[in-house]
Structure 1
Amino acid sequence: PVGGCVEGWAHCTLRGGGGLFEYILLYKDRMMFQIEQATKQCSKISLTEPWDPLDIPQNATFEDEYSIGGPQEQITVQEWSDRKSARSYETWIGIYTAKDCYPVQETFTKNYSVILSTRFFDIQLGIKDPSVFIPPSTCQTAWAERMSEDCSW
């Protein structure tokens, strides 16, 4: 399994509802900052979901192994899920490199209308710039509720 960020930080950018939002998730503090990029308005929201260490859970079901890419540019990946025989579908599918178990893609299905799919690229070990996890000064007076983005994750 991949040795992820032990303290559980995440930094991402999401476009939704015509706006561009940056998210800083500080799992150790159980806090998420949602920053609207044009105005720098900020919301500070409690995190309720646990940190996802981006590894293959012990109880995962092996689905398949295959190569992605073209000739002389292939990499072997393995696909895992939380599918169980008593359920008709899985709620999590993870694709990882076979050699070092780096994440390639994860898909979470909360219900039939909410799906979160994450693709991983340009992976580097460690955190190159820890300052991306420091909320901007506008977050000192952050709103206590999430700004509308027309999607939920």
Structure 2
Amino acid sequence: MDVVLALLVTLTAVLAQEPKPCESPKQFESRLVTVDPSKQFIRFAYVSYDGVDRRVREEVEIEEGGKKQFYDFFYLHNIGVEYKVNLLTKQCNKTALTRPFIPWHVPSDAKFQWEGNIGPVTGEHVTLVQFTGKFEENFYAMTVTSPDCVMIRMDFYSNRTGFVQSDFYDMTLGIHDPSHFIPPPECPP
């Protein structure tokens, strides 16, 4: 009986140490690089993310097959509309959003995968934690800092997009200008 009790106490202690999904910032601005190696696709962006009102703006440079394009995307999930502005021609297209809002914060049902450090453990370092799960039947893996839970990387796979890897850097918390989500005047109302 003592052995069983000792095993239960040990198991409880081990499970209690496993990191749980953390509370990520719901609003931030960041640089973002997205890569899809299978399509020879790379995209550099400055993003404004508002997880509270479900809005994302991406000022983008896309390189696909050696050709560069420049766009400003407004994904306004709160009203179900997407604006795509070609920054070279100033042409703006407005369409209904058909893709779901994908949160860039750790969902409460995410599963812990691993924890590790970048840098020497005894000196300056960043602790990273990865969580995985499914969002509307699509696989994701999110790597965040610990203990602050700031998004560093998101890997996403769906049948529609295939595998997409996104890395976040130069992040600032909050939205510096809420009017940043208002499309330019050349866009239809």
- Residue of 46, 50, 56 corresponding to 2:106: 56
Alignment of 1:23 with 2:81, yes or no, is no
Distance 1:114 1:16 in 2: 18
Measure, in 1, the Cα distance between the counterparts of 2:95 and 2:85.
11
How many aligned positions are there? 135
Residue of 12, 36, 46 corresponding to 2:96: 46
Classify 1:101/1:42 alpha carbon distance in 2 versus 1 (closer, same or farther; 3 Å).
same
Letter aligned with residue 118 of structure 2: I
**Identical pairs, percent:** 27
1:8 paired to 2:54: yes
- Structure 1 residues 112, 50: closer, same or farther in 2, change over 3 A? closer
Choose from 106, 130, 135 the match for 1:79. Answer: 130
SS in 1 for 2:186: helix
Matches of 1:30 and 1:69, distance apart in 2 = 42
Counterpart among 144, 165, 171 of residue 123 in structure 1: 171
- Structure 1, gaps ≥5 residues long: 84-89, 142-153
Q: C-alpha separation between the residues in 1 aligned to 2:159 and 2:165?
A: 13
Q: CA RMSD in A?
A: 2.4
1:73 shift after superposition: 4.0
Matches of 1:140 and 1:112 in 2, distance apart?
A: 28
My pick for the range that moved more, 33-42 or 5-14, is 5-14
CA deviation after TM superposition for structure 1 residue 129, in Å: 2.1
Instruction: Check 1:124–1:93 CA distance in 2 against 1; reply closer, same or farther (3 A cut).
Output: same
For residue 20 of structure 1, give the secondary structure of its aligned residue in structure 2.
Answer: strand
1:111 aligned to 2:159? yes
Deviation (angstroms), 1:112: 8.8
- One-letter identity of the residue aligned with 1:9: R
**How far apart are the structure 1 equivalents of 2:93 and 2:174?**
27
Cα distance in 1, alignment partners of residues 116 and 110 from structure 2: 18
Deviation (angstroms), 1:113: 6.3
Could you state the TM-score of these two structures normalised by the residue count of structure 1? 0.75
CA distance in 1, matches of 2:160, 2:73: 24
How far is the alpha carbon of 1:42 from its aligned partner? 1.2
Name the CA distance, whole Å, in 1 between partners of 2:165 and 2:120.
Answer: 23
Residue 89 (structure 2) pairs with residue 36 (structure 1): no
More strand by share: 2
